[in-house]
Structure formats: C-alpha cells, structure tokens
Amino acid sequence: MTAAPYVFEYHLINYRRTWRSSALSTFVLPLLTMLGFGVGVGAYVTGGVAGVPYLDWMVPGLIASTAVQTAMGESTWPVFSYFKWLRSYYAQVAAPLRVGDILGGHLAFVVFRTVVGGAAFLLIAAFFGTMHSWWALAALPVAALCGLAVATPTFAYAARIPSDSYLAILFRAGVLPMSLFSGVFFPVELLPGPLRAVAYALPLWHGVDLTRAATLGVPPDWSLTGHVAYLVLWAAGGAVLAARQFARRLVV
C-alpha cells in the first residue's frame, strides 16, 4: 500500500492556492504564440513545411516544448525549495511516508501540471484550426511522457545542487538550446551533423516528432516504439537517480 496519492493530494491543495497566477501564463502564452508566429512569421514562410502551413507544422512542436518547460519549471525551484527553503520534504519524511511516496507523489503532480498546460495549448491551437486529426488528443499522453522524461532527471539535479544558481544555469545551458534545436521551429535535418546528434539524444525532439504526428495525423519521422522507449528510458534513468538523491538528503 503506497501513500503517494496523499502526497499528490497535498500538492493539488497547494496548487489550488496558487493556480490563478499560473493560469494566466498557461492560456495567454499559447495565445500570444499563435498570433505572433501564425500571423507574423507564418506570413513569411509562405511555402509551409512538409506540405502543411508553417503554423500547423510548428504548433505541435511548441506543445511538446511547453510540456518540457512546464515540467522542468515544476521540477527545479519547487524541489530545491522543498529541501532548502520550505523544507516540506523533511516534514513529509517525519510522517509515515517513504522516500518513494514523497518522490512519486510530487512527480505525479508535475505530470498533472504538464498535462493541464498541454490541454490548454491544444484547445487554443484547435480553435485556430491547426489540428488535422482526432489523433491530436494523443498529444496529451505524449506531453505526460515528455514531462516525466525531463522531470525525473531534473528532480535528481535539483536535489543534488548546493545553490539555486545552478537552476538558472540548467535553463540557460540546457533548456534554451534544447528548445531551439529540437525541431520545434525548423526541421532537425537542417542542423549540421553533430548538432543533429545532440538533438536526437535529448528528449524533446522525440516528444516533438510524436506530437507533430498526432496533431497532423501522419506517421512520425522515426519509429513510434523507438520514441516511446527512449522517453521511458529517460524517465526511468532519472527516477533511479532522483530516488538516490532524495534518500541521500532525507534519510541520513
């Protein structure tokens, strides 16, 4: 019997207190993106990409990219703070919870937040007519998987670092380049060989390709099973590291 659902519930109650501030960015950001890229940039890219209008091609990439950024946002400062500033994890470990419950409950909440953000984006994007198929709904489980694939290693990282300045480094040196070179705004085939290899190694491109296949209703560029397996590998590897770091901090 696991107590992780109680931890998930705790994070939901915390979210209920703060969701208004995040709701604005959850809806406004996609809306601005649709207008800015669709109407602005889209007007220049007249030929479209892979036979579809540029906006329709780019939106699924942004949905995956937003999922990754939401998940990482929820896995960085909150995790660091629950160890260092608010010390909530220490309160939880004094209750009859195991380290796995604490970690699992928090990860479940991060996935929940990611899916909520992904659903909002999907809704607005559908309103602009960029969804080509009912397969678009598959973008939600893909967002969940993408979120988990980046959340677990980020939990491990946030539990390991001595100061929060390392979190800013992660975003500048990791997330920003990953968002630019993972096939969100232009096909990865346009990248020079070594950079393309980096894009394939990072989790985001796999999420982008899957989401794009879903919203356009076409097969992915790469194997479906391969994408899913690779993202699961990231999630599982990260979970092992995170569990180790959490135990190191909480049970000493």
Partner 1 sequence: MSADPLIHARGLVKRFGDFTAVDGIDVDVTRGEAFGFLGPNGAGKSSTMRMISCVSPPTGGVLSILGMDPRRDGPRIRARLGVCPQLDNLDIELTVRENLTTYARFFGIARAEARRRADELLRFVQLAERANSKVDPLSGGMKRRLTIARALVNEPEVVLLDEPTTGLDPQARHLVWERLFRLRQQGVTLVLTTHYMDEAEQLCDRLVVMDGGRIVAEGSPRALIERYSTREVVELRFTTDDQAAYADKLAGLGERLEVLPDRILLYVGDGDGAAAEVQRRALHPASVLVRRSSLEDVFLHLTGRTLVD
Of 95, 180, 195, 236, which one interacts with partner 1 (CB under 8 A)?
Answer: 95
Of 44, 46, 47, 96, which one interacts with partner 1 (CB under 8 A)?
Answer: 96
Output the smallest distance, CB 97 to partner 1, in A: 6
Of 39, 90, 190, 233, which one interacts with partner 1 (CB under 8 A)?
Answer: 90
Measure the CA–CA gap between 58 and 218, rounded to whole angstroms.
14
DSSP structure class, residue 76? S
Query: What is the token pair recorded at 83?
Result: 């160890």
Output the smallest distance, CB 10 to partner 1, in A: 5
Burial class of residue 129, CB neighbours in 10 A (0-12, 13-18, 19+)? exposed
Q: Is 245 in the site for partner 1 (CB under 8 A)?
A: no
Output the smallest distance, CB 147 to partner 1, in A: 22
Q: Is 223 in the site for partner 1 (CB under 8 A)?
A: no
Measure the CA–CA gap between 126 and 37, rounded to whole angstroms.
15
Q: Is the dihedral of CA 91, 101, 11, 156 positive or negative?
A: positive
Q: Please list, in sequence order, all residues whose beta carbon lies within 8 angstroms of the beta carbon of residue 119, skipping any fewer than 6 positions away.
A: 140
Q: Is 143 in the site for partner 1 (CB under 8 A)?
A: no
Q: Is 244 in the site for partner 1 (CB under 8 A)?
A: no
For residues 59-88, which are near partner 1 according to CB under 8 A?
A: 86-88
Total of chain residues touching partner 1, rule CB under 8 A:
24
Q: Is 9 in the site for partner 1 (CB under 8 A)?
A: yes
Q: Which stretch binds partner 1 (CB under 8 A): 12-20, 43-51, 106-114, 182-190?
A: 12-20
Q: Is 233 in the site for partner 1 (CB under 8 A)?
A: no
Q: Is 93 in the site for partner 1 (CB under 8 A)?
A: yes
The dihedrals phi and psi of 35, each to the nearest 5 degrees, come to: -70, -50
Task: Provide the 3-class DSSP secondary structure of residue 86.
Answer: coil
Adjacent-strand bridge partners of 49: 52
Q: Is the dihedral of CA 190, 232, 251, 101 positive or negative?
A: positive
Q: Which stretch binds partner 1 (CB under 8 A): 14-22, 136-144, 160-168, 225-233?
A: 14-22
Query: What is the token pair recorded at 26?
Result: 């959850």
Q: Which residues bind partner 1 (CB under 8 A)?
A: 3, 6-7, 9-10, 13-14, 17-18, 86-88, 90-98, 250-252
